[in-house]
């Protein structure tokens, strides 16, 4: 669960990081409030939400099991090691 939350936070924060890099390249102070107007923060937030939604749809679409797949639970192999469960 923490991995999912962390990935969503990263995708949301990507536009802010890109903007901060752009500010640094333009030699503008990052800590100055004039560099972060409310309108820009709103646009960055909207971009972060869109990027997060696209990432969620991508991961949901491509990480699912194929239709009709059957779960095989974990078992203990012949050498005594645990064989992880799979979708077949």
Q: What average pLDDT does this structure show over 65-85?
A: 89
Exposed/middle/buried for residue 59 (C-beta within 10 Å: 0-12, 13-18, 19+): middle
The share of the chain scoring above pLDDT 90, in percent, equals 66
**pLDDT level of residue 64 (50, 70, 90 thresholds):** confident
- For the CA atoms of the chain, what is the radius of gyration? 21
Q: What is the pLDDT of residues 37-52, one digit of tens each?
A: 999 999 999 999 999 9
The structure tokens 């669960």 sit at 1
Count of H helices and E strands in the chain? 2, 4
pTM: 0.71
């Amino acid at each position: 669960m923490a991995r999912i939350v962390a990935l969503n936070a990263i995708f949301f924060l990507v536009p802010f990081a890109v903007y901060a890099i752009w500010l640094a390249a333009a030699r503008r102070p990052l800590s100055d409030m004039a560099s972060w107007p409310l309108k820009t923060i709103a646009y960055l937030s909207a971009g972060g939400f869109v990027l997060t939604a696209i990432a969620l749809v991508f991961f949901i679409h491509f990480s699912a099991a194929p239709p009709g797949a059957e779960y095989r639970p974990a078992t203990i192999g012949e050498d005594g090691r645990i064989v992880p469960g799979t979708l077949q």
